[in-house]
Structure 1
Amino acid sequence: MTQRNALVVSAHSADFVWRAGGAIALYAERGWHIHVLCLSFGERGESAKLWKQPGMILGQVKAARRSEAEQAAEILGATISFMDCGDYPLRVSDERLLDITAQYRRLQPEFVLTHSFQDPYNFDHPLANRLAMEARVIAQAHGHLPGEQVLAAPPVYLFEPHQPEQCEWKPQLFLDISSVWDKKYRAFQTMQAQEHLWEYYTRTGLQRGAQAARNSGRKIKYAEAYQCVYPRVTDDFL
């Protein structure tokens, strides 16, 4: 049986947990290989709790955030890698862009999850989106490293930003994650540096679950919402 793969491009070390942890756990349980690529550790803008500790230094913050993310990925059933491209600001060279492209070529993902196109509260997030999208296009080009297997056209789904109304993000797909919610919440609990978000994203899961139930007639308690970048291609409306 051929291994099926998916790629999650996360700006910071915790983003994939809050926004796509259910999808990761769900597909991992189905036998998929889900790889999370973290562009940074979230060491400056998303680690306030750690920085408030006396004597804290950058290396310790990075190590703590990396450990949290690795534990979360293990709980969810994903593999994870880090690029350490900085945080507040996140900056990526063309060389790093091609490193992301290489991940696409290596994995040949059947779908991709990443950030929204806009986020006026965190400019690292739309940059991660741009990198994920641009690397996908480069990986499809026959002229990029001829002889390698080119990428097909994996659909890209944008996970929910923290304040969707301000990000011009619209839910177009609800994913029922009720069966894996316990795993997602356990992954939450590894993120000690951002404990204040546990309740927020629990409420988000319940809200999206209620909306998913309303739009399907199914009994759904927890859901994640996604915006579709490209038209969905199918031979069945159902």
Structure 2
Amino acid sequence: MTGNGADRKTALVISAHAADFVWRCGGAIALHQARGYEVTVACLSFGERGESAKLWKQEGMTLEAVKSARRNEAEAAAKALDVHDIRFFDLGDYPLEMDRDAKFRLVDLIRAVQPNFMFSHSRFDPYNTDHMYATQIALETRMIAQAWGHNPSEKVLGAPQLYLFEPHQTEQMGWRPDVFLDISEVWDKKRAAIECMQGQEHLWTYYTNVAENRGNHFRRNSGGMAGGRPARYAEGFETVFPRTVDELG
């Protein structure tokens, strides 16, 4: 993977809504922070319209109050995961849309971070088109950040891998994981971040089960009954771009 130099390791998460980064790659965030990476999270929206039903059921709730609550939850979760920086683009959801200026704001962030690798959603999600739109935006802004003619005074982006994190109903999304990451050592941090998401408490057990199931897949693919590593919790990812290696092992 293309990096920023030995003295600074970075990663960037492009999250459609304010909770997505927690459910889907919170373990990867905490683990890489512990490894010395600076992980930045870009929340394109708060999920205020489509992913805050529990809040909207409260009498007298307003859009701004929901957005404020969602922001507070995301900031608390980011703290639990030791996130280096979290940015809120506040672009609205259901539908999530980005004009040229908003795209360039994200390009500016990508170039400032110069990520060694990036995360976003699955490429297809018929249940939540905001998710697959965010990944299309991730691909587009990654491309623009690589263009020498875009703001030519800035350092251009190299070729960071884009990891697509697990969607909610995997079998419907055409998502095929080819990387499993052992997050056992930081599971307590991820679980703490999950519990910050009070507006979506119905997902806490679901994503705990997902992490346990992926732990099983890690064990099987790291050696299985012949001596696989005993990972209890893991996250799965699908890579978009080829890897460049010096040997196969």
TM-score bracket, shorter-length normalisation: over 0.9
Q: Distance in 2 between matches of 1:72 and 1:233?
A: 34
Partner AA of 1:109 in structure 2: P
Which residue is equivalent to 1:220? Answer: 231
Q: Distance in 2 between matches of 1:212 and 1:223?
A: 7
RMSD value over aligned CA atoms?
0.8
Q: Distance in 2 between matches of 1:218 and 1:31?
A: 23
Which residue is equivalent to 2:205? Answer: 199
1:53-64 correspondence runs (5 A): 53-64=58-69
Q: Distance in 2 between matches of 1:47 and 1:108?
A: 32
- Residue 230 in structure 1 maps to residue 241 in structure 2: yes
- Residue 14 in structure 1 maps to residue 15 in structure 2: no
TM-score (norm 2): 0.94
Partner AA of 2:221 in structure 1: N
Q: Unpaired segments of 5 or more residues in structure 1?
A: none
Which residue is equivalent to 1:179? Answer: 185
Q: Distance in 2 between matches of 1:131 and 1:210?
A: 32
1:234, distance to aligned residue in structure 2 (A): 1.7
Partner AA of 2:240 in structure 1: V
1:31, distance to aligned residue in structure 2 (A): 1.2
Which residue is equivalent to 1:81? Answer: 87
Partner AA of 1:12 in structure 2: H
Percent identity (aligned): 56
* Aligned equivalent of 1:127, options 114, 133, 140: 133
Q: Deviations over 1:101-144 (max 9, x none)?
A: 11111110000000011100001001100111100000001011
Q: Distance in 2 between matches of 1:120 and 1:144?
A: 33
Which residue is equivalent to 2:225? Answer: none
Q: Distance in 1 between matches of 2:172 and 2:101?
A: 32
1:187, distance to aligned residue in structure 2 (A): 0.2
- Residue 166 in structure 1 maps to residue 172 in structure 2: yes
Say which SS state the counterpart of residue 187 (structure 1) adopts.
helix
Give 4+ residue runs of structure 1 displaced > 3 Å after superposition. Answer: none
Q: Deviations over 1:172-199 (max 9, x none)?
A: 1000000000000000010000000000
Q: Distance in 2 between matches of 1:102 and 1:111?
A: 16
Matched residues, number: 238
Say which SS state the counterpart of residue 227 (structure 1) adopts.
strand
Which residue is equivalent to 1:102? Answer: 108
Q: Distance in 1 between matches of 2:155 and 2:130?
A: 30
Q: Distance in 2 between matches of 1:2 and 1:42?
A: 35
Q: Distance in 2 between matches of 1:70 and 1:132?
A: 22
Q: Deviations over 1:191-210 (max 9, x none)?
A: 00000000000000000000
TM-score (norm 1): 0.99
Partner AA of 1:111 in structure 2: F
Say which SS state the counterpart of residue 110 (structure 2) adopts.
helix
1:13, distance to aligned residue in structure 2 (A): 0.2
1:125-164 correspondence runs (5 A): 125-164=131-170
Q: Distance in 1 between matches of 2:246 and 2:109?
A: 29
1:233, distance to aligned residue in structure 2 (A): 1.5
Q: Distance in 2 between matches of 1:214 and 1:20?
A: 21
1:43-54 correspondence runs (5 A): 43-54=48-59
Say which SS state the counterpart of residue 74 (structure 2) adopts.
helix
1:50, distance to aligned residue in structure 2 (A): 0.2
Q: Unpaired segments of 5 or more residues in structure 2?
A: 1-5, 223-227
